[in-house]
Structure formats: structure tokens, C-alpha cells
Amino acid sequence: MHETPQNAGYMIAAYVVTAVVLVGYWLRLAGKIRRGTRD
Amino acid sequence: MNADRARGLAIAHRGQAIAALGLVLLAGVYVLAQGFTPMEVSQGLAQKIFYLHVPAAWTSLLVFSIVGITSALYLWLRDERLDLFAASSAEVGVVFSIIMLTTGPLWAKPIWGAWWQWDARLTLTLFLFFLFVGYLSLRAAVPDAGERARYSAVVAILGFLLVPFVHLSVYLFRTIHPMPVVLKPSAPSLPGSMLRTLLIAFAVDLVLYVGFVTARYGLGLIAHARAAAQEDRADA
Amino acid sequence: MASGLRGALALAARDIRAELRSRTALTSALVFAALVLVVFNFARDPTRLGVADLAPSALWITFAFGAMTTLNRAFAIEKEHGALDLLRLAPMPREAIYTGKLLANLAFVGVVEAVALPLFVLFFNRPVWHILGPLLLVTALATIGFVAVGTLLSAMAVRTRFAELMLPLLLLPFMLPPVIGAVQVTARLFADRPLSELWGWLRLLAVYDVVFVTISVLIFPAVADE
């Protein structure tokens, strides 16, 4: 029975990256829509 | 003219709403994966990256196929809505590729001991990513709308044909990527609760794709309307 | 069909004559090939790395970059002279225009390779006589594949902003299968492996050529037409 590896850091990084990319893209689109409403 | 812009805005807002729903559901996936899915004993917590990486990979491959097919349809029917849809999809596909290409190495480092391997699937997806970055750069670099649509359609179709070759050539080379555990001829070899989390995560990615692509499509309509208005002004 | 082929040959001949006058593409590609070969030779630690281990990669980096430089130059010249728009108006089938450009580009890249290979034999002290046949075959198969795609892509790239950047960016993914295949075959040839080991790769390269030459000829009208 071997020990379960301790690698939570990698998992947290992956979850953070995914959230940042998706929320970031959403905000980018929101910014463009806002600019589209102006003028 | 303003009616077109209003329609584009309405579509963009609807897309943003769907995508926002998708982001909320994604938070649900995080809770599900962390709290309600068993830990895999041999890989530890890093295995949970699987619930983000695999759905993102499926989504980007699906989206790039959609771009290839829509582009072929565009060259046939010459309907500019197809071009706009292909372009919107390609951009969203690149977003999911970025997730796939960053979460992959984050899993590979603790499990394989290396960030990157020149394996068939990794190489394939990396070059698809390059191809669609090239696709988007090409779109940005062609001023004429008709030319832009035709050129990018050609690149997307070529890319679609390239996929089997990249796969075969690197497969002839070697492969160490885990074999498919879900999409294979026999029944999926994944414990039920893990499979459930994976499939839910994939469904959420599809919601996000629909939302983003709708928003991006609406933005494209707005840009069209603006360009047309500028032309009118120039003619006047 | 016959007139289309004649048109394609005439177009290729015109390009080759123009290049023979200026020799810019050729010169830049040759300087590049020589540079790569020299760098590879001096970067190698002869006590740790045998020539045979490095030779296939050095040869294919030279060929790949030489081809890229050549393709880039070929359409840049076209652009400077504004000849592309004239070509579009020419009373010949679009397929013949593509075929003509493809033949001319194959000739340029072929010349670069024909000069780089002896340089390679010279600098790497690596005789190739006994494997010359298969080596030329694999070089031809790989070159046709990426030059076919490169010719199509450069016809588009030249009409964009940042044309010099656009071609390498778009062509890169399409160079992967031919170059991987060619390097694999070349390495096995230098290691004197039996020809039976090469069949899988050679077949893949041949199918790649057939698929991409065909699709490029068929799809070129969509690039050239208004």
C-alpha cells in the first residue's frame, strides 16, 4: 500500500487558472459590449 | 442601421447571461469535484485536475471541428453569418485550448514528473492551438471582409484535414498520454461518481461555449453594423 | 486541360527566369543553409555526440528554414512588382496559376536543397552515396507536401498586413507531419536500417502529398477569385 502523493498545489493552480481564464474572457467580452453600447 | 446594432447587442447580452450561468455552474462543478467525488488514491489530489482538463480538451476539439465544418459550408454557401459563427467559435475554442494546455502540464508535472512530453495527443492539441492562433491572426490582418472570410475558411479547412496526419505521425513516433477511459468501445472504466462529475463538467463547458459564442457573435453583428454605418457616412 | 498545363509551365518558367536574374531568394536561402550547418558543427561536442545523431536534425532544419525563406521571398517579389493582380486578370484557369506557382516554388526549394546537401556532406563528413536514392525520395516527398500548402498559404499571406510573419505562423502546423516523417526516415537511413522500417513513414508522406496537393488545387480559386 503506497502513500497517496501530496500534490494539492498543482490542483489548486489548475482550478485557479481555469477560473481566471473563463472569468477573464467573460469580462473581456463584457467590456467590448459596453464599448459597443456607447457612441 | 441602428436596428442591426440593437439586434447585435440583444444577442450579445443574451450570450453574456448564458455564459454567466455557465460560470455559476462551474463553481458548482468545483464544489462537486472537491467535496463529493472520491479521491483517487494513487494520484492524490492532482487527479482532480482531470475534471477540468478533459472537458476543456473535448470542448476545444469539438469547437475546432465545428469551425472546420462551418468554414467548408461558408465556401459553399457564401453566407457571412457562417463566417461570423466560425470566427466566434474559433476564438472560444482558443480559450478552451488555453485551459487544456495549462491544466495538462499542471497534472503531468506531479504524475509524469515532467511538464511536457512530445506525445501524440499533446502535440496534436498544441499544433491545433497554433493553427487557430494563426487563424485569428490572419483574420486580424486582412482588411477586406470578403477576403478575410475566404482566407480564414481555407485555413480552417486545411487544419481540419491536418488533424489525422499530425495524429498518425506522432502516433507512429510514440505515445504516453493515458488511453481514453471514457470514449472507448467498451464501457467507461471510471468509477460512477468520477464519471458523473466529468460529464457534468463537460456539460457546463458546453453551456459556457454556447454563451461565449453567442456573445461573440452578437459583438460581430455590432461591428458589422458599425462598419456599414461608416461606409454610408463615407458615401454621403 | 492541356492549355492549363501549358499556362502553368509558362508561369513557372517566367518565375524561374525572374529569380535567375535577381537570385535574391536563392542567395538568402543559401547563406542561411550554410549558417545552420556551421552552427550545428561547432555547437556539437565531438566526444559526447556522434555526427550520425545530429545529422538528420541539422539537415532538416536547414531544409525546412531554407524552404520557408524561399517561399516568403517568392511572393514578396510578386508583391513588389504588383504582378499578383495581373495574374488574377490573366485568362487562364485558377488551377493553372496555382500549379505554376507550385512548380516554381518546388524548383526554388529543390535548388536550395540540392546545394545544401553537398554542403552538408562536406561539413558533416558524412557520405550519402549509398543511401542517395531513398534520401532523395524522402526529401522530395516531404518537400512537395509542405511546399504545396506553403504556396497556397503564401498567396493569402502576401495580401495581409505583416505578410512576412503570417506565412511562417500559418505554415508551422503544416510542416510538422512532413518534417517529423522526413527526420525519422533520414535518421534510419543514416543508421543503415533496413528499408522495410521506413514504409510506414514513406506511405504517410505520400498520402500527405496527395491530400494536400489535391485540396490546394481545388481550393485555390476561393483564394484567387474576387
The answer to pTM > 0.80 is yes
Specify whether the CB–CB gap between C101 and C223 falls below 8 A. Answer: no
* Among candidates A11, A32, A33 on the partner chain, residue whose Cβ is nearest the Cβ of B48: A11
- Torsion angle of C-alpha atoms C65, B164, B147, A28, degrees rounded to 10: -90
Measure in Å the smallest separation between the Cα of B187 and chain C Cα atoms.
32
Per-residue pLDDT tens for C48-77? Answer: 767 667 778 888 888 888 888 888 877 676
- C-alpha B14: how far from chain center: 20
pLDDT score of C83:
61
Phi, psi of C128 (to 5 degrees): -125, 5
Q: Which chains touch C (3 or more CB pairs under 8 A)?
A: B
d(CA B182, CA B167): 19
Is C208 in contact with C175 (CB distance < 8 Å)?
Answer: no
Tens digit of each residue's pLDDT (9 = 90 or more) over A1-39 = 466 778 889 999 999 999 999 999 999 999 999 887 765
Q: Is the pLDDT of residue C178 over 60?
A: yes
Name the nearest CA neighbour of B107 among B166, B156, B161, B44: B44
Interface residues on B facing A, Cβ-Cβ cutoff 8 A: 5, 8-9, 12-13, 15-16, 19-20, 22-23, 26, 30, 39, 41-46, 48-49, 52-53, 56, 95, 98-99, 102-103, 106-107, 109-110, 208, 212, 215-216, 218-219, 222-223
**Using alpha carbons only, how large is chain B's radius of gyration in Å?**
20
**For residue B78, what is the nearest residue in chain C, using CA coordinates?**
C222
Q: Given this model, what pLDDT does residue C71 score?
A: 84
Using a CB-CB cut-off of 8 Å, the residues of chain A touching B223 are 36
Q: What is the mean pLDDT of residues C207-216?
A: 96
Which chain C residues contact residue B128 at CB under 8 A? 173
Residues of A in contact with B8 (CB under 8 A): 36
Cα separations in angstroms, B189 against B43, B66, B182: 16, 28, 7
pLDDT in tens, C132-142: 888 999 999 99
Q: Which residues of C touch B134 (CB under 8 A)?
A: 166, 169-170, 172-173
Strand, coil or helix: A28: helix
Digitized pLDDT (tens) for each residue of chain B, 236 residues in all: 588 889 999 999 999 999 999 999 999 999 999 888 888 877 888 889 999 999 999 999 999 999 999 999 999 999 999 999 999 999 999 999 999 999 999 998 888 888 888 777 788 889 889 999 999 999 999 988 899 999 999 999 999 999 888 878 777 776 556 666 666 555 566 778 888 999 999 999 999 999 999 999 999 999 888 888 888 887 76
The complex's ipTM?
A: 0.90
How close A18 gets to chain B, by Cα (Å)? 6
Q: Read off the pLDDT band of C87 (50, 70, 90).
A: low
